[in-house]
Structure 1
Amino acid sequence: MITLRRLRRATALCVLGAALAGCGTTEAGRQAPRPAPSAPAAPSPSRTPTLAPGPGGLTPVFEHGPRTDRDKAGAPDGKLVALTFDADMTADQGPRAAAGEHFDNPRLIATLRKLKVPATVFMTGRWAEEYPDEARSIGRDPRFEIANHSYSHYAYTDDCYGLPTVSEDRMRSDLERAYTAFEKAGVANPMPYFRFPGGCYDKAALKELAATGVTAVQWDVVSGDAFATDADAVTRQVLDGVRPGSVVVMHCTRSAAPVTEEVVRAVVPELRRQGYRFVKVSELIGAANTHR
């Protein structure tokens, strides 16, 4: 189980390693969180790229990777882009799911597999509880990685798109509760990355989560798929926004993002035609570290 104590221990080890091997400042990151003993581990790197703490020890925030198609030595590295999908479900949406509303999107996951597209799924703990078989399947597929999107999908700041809010003294427990839900679902190796619900954060939130050792992951390309019904418009917005190193935010929720799978089918071949290579967020963070 990924508990706050374990995350703090990982952070302490990283600090010790920094004195020996530049932990957190090169592509070598913190040891990847271990799955529960009963959960078979999917193939994953032994060390997970993360960012060094921000100013004053605040939780670091990652928005995009290198804006180049070459590595630090100048060799061709390809134009990298990361597709990310938020598996949103608030803590109080159980009755809506019981009534037949679909907060999952198995067809989207199947399409990503068919197109052989690596992706990072930012999952809420409530989503993992509602769809444990899907969460486990995604988490055990080496093409994907699961990261933390909070347990409740309640905002970590006030005035965030009308979302209910989490008080400062509950932020860390909300994050940890999501990892507990992943463990119960049998998710192997969830990543030490966190996406704020609604993308809303402030200095107080970054301070509260600093002890957990997570890297906050934002984005630089808003797909606009949330509640969209025009797949062509969303496709154009993604293609117009992507640059080398981009992180694209989309959603893995049929009820709130019904055209996302169609958008992926259009976006993927076009970006490949333009020379882009799809990677998970972990690879993009690793590339960013090597370019420093």
Structure 2
Amino acid sequence: MLPGRRTLLRVTACLGAAAAVRMLIAEDTGGPAPAPRPAPAAGPQAAVPRLGSSGHRLEPMTGDTPPRYHTALPPVRTRPFLSMPELGEHSMVLTFDDGPDPRYTPGILKTLREHDVRAVFFLCGEMATDNRDLLREMRDDGHVVGNHTWTHPQLNKTAPALIRSEIGRTSEVIEQTLGEPPQWFRAPYGAWNRNVFEIQAEMGMEPLAWTVDSLDWTTPGTATIIRRVLDGAAPGVVVLSHDAGGDRSQSVAALRTYLPELLARGYELKVPPRRR
């Protein structure tokens, strides 16, 4: 059945109104009227609201653009890993901060190589950028290279934009040198806060703190450093030492003694596994 005259008139009027609106928009903007947007597709994604980039949430932060360093992000944690018992009941982890320093890092690498042991090195970008040969030596020996910011600031007193710069610049140097970005991050002084956890996760890193602090940065004497490490030895323990940031000759000498002693006690010195 053909539509009635009134129906045709109503349709014509609606079409005319729509055309008029598009003409008004074109006059206001000085260009052609925009085409009408298609209706959103039905499905499960259509019902999910978009989160603003400033929203706080305990899940991977993807923001409004693809992540720069990784496609699969770790969760945003509220505290760092203090130990790694999952590596085995006879395992420990040795970590060295602030390097690399050409005066001390080679001696530590030499001792680790002699005992076929792997460790984690948390690097400062300002040191790494001028000592890239040491980064490649770490990689070739099977060590894990982590991020320790660019200039070692106290991040819980630092603006988010500067936190992002400190962490991001260091990851860039590591990735440019080794071909892949770091997977682990350690905040200087152990000073994490919400901003730090979120930014490091966005850049694809997990937070690793420590269980035993050798306090070698205070230069207490080689024997004291040895005693602190051996007294603190236990399954899953993460030991904090330094290979830069001052005179680290005591740290280099101490490692030559406590490392073979740990091995003699049956400990396996391991590094965190790759996440992907």
Fold shared by both chains (TM-score > 0.5): yes
Deviation at 1:110, TM superposition (A): 1.0
Deviation at 1:189, TM superposition (A): 3.6
Distance in structure 1 (CA, Å) of the matches to 2:256 and 2:199? 39
Deviation at 1:238, TM superposition (A): 0.8
Aligned partner of 1:226: which letter? W
> Larger relative contact order (C-alpha < 8 A, sep ≥ 6)?
1
C-alpha spacing 1:210/1:146, structure 2 compared with 1 (3 Å)? closer
C-alpha spacing 1:240/1:132, structure 2 compared with 1 (3 Å)? same
Contact 2:99 2:121 in 1 (8 A): no
Contact 2:222 2:251 in 1 (8 A): yes
C-alpha spacing 1:149/1:103, structure 2 compared with 1 (3 Å)? farther
Larger mean Cα displacement after TM superposition, 263-272 or 101-110: 101-110
Please list, as runs of the form range in 1=range in 2, the aligned pairs for 1:208-247 lying within 5 A after superposition. 208-247=199-238
Corresponding position: 1:65 with 2:84: yes
Corresponding position: 1:183 with 2:175: yes
For the residue of structure 2 that corresponds to 1:269, the secondary structure is: helix
Instruction: Indicate the residue corresponding to 1:106 in structure 2.
Output: 106
Deviation at 1:170, TM superposition (A): 2.1
Instruction: Indicate the residue corresponding to 2:166 in structure 1.
Output: 174
Corresponding residue to 1:277 among 265, 268, 274: 268
Distance in structure 1 (CA, Å) of the matches to 2:266 and 2:178? 33
Instruction: Indicate the residue corresponding to 1:139 in structure 2.
Output: 139
Distance in structure 2 (CA, Å) of the matches to 1:116 and 1:167? 41
Instruction: Indicate the residue corresponding to 2:68 in structure 1.
Output: 6
Please list, as runs of the form range in 1=range in 2, the aligned pairs for 1:115-130 lying within 5 A after superposition. 115-130=115-130
Distance in structure 2 (CA, Å) of the matches to 1:154 and 1:139? 26
Runs (5+) with no aligned partner, structure 1 = 12-51, 72-76, 90-100, 159-165, 287-292
Runs (5+) with no aligned partner, structure 2 = 1-65
For the residue of structure 1 that corresponds to 2:85, the secondary structure is: coil
Aligned partner of 2:216: which letter? D
Deviation at 1:262, TM superposition (A): 1.3
Deviation at 1:263, TM superposition (A): 1.0
Deviation at 1:124, TM superposition (A): 1.2
Contact 1:88 1:124 in 2 (8 A): yes
Q: Structure 2-normalised TM-score?
A: 0.68
Deviation at 1:190, TM superposition (A): 4.3
Deviation at 1:105, TM superposition (A): 2.5
C-alpha spacing 1:8/1:137, structure 2 compared with 1 (3 Å)? closer
Aligned partner of 1:80: which letter? S
Contact 2:174 2:182 in 1 (8 A): no
Aligned partner of 1:246: which letter? V
Distance in structure 1 (CA, Å) of the matches to 2:69 and 2:207? 14
C-alpha spacing 1:106/1:181, structure 2 compared with 1 (3 Å)? same
Distance in structure 2 (CA, Å) of the matches to 1:103 and 1:87? 13
Aligned partner of 2:156: which letter? T
> Could you report, residue by residue, the CA deviation over 1:127-153 in whole angstroms, capped at 9, with x for unpaired residues?
1112121122212322x1111111221
Contact 2:104 2:248 in 1 (8 A): no
Deviation at 1:208, TM superposition (A): 3.7
Instruction: Indicate the residue corresponding to 2:97 in structure 1.
Output: 86
Contact 1:59 1:216 in 2 (8 A): no
Indicate the RMSD between aligned Cα atoms, in angstroms: 2.8
How many corresponding residue pairs?
212
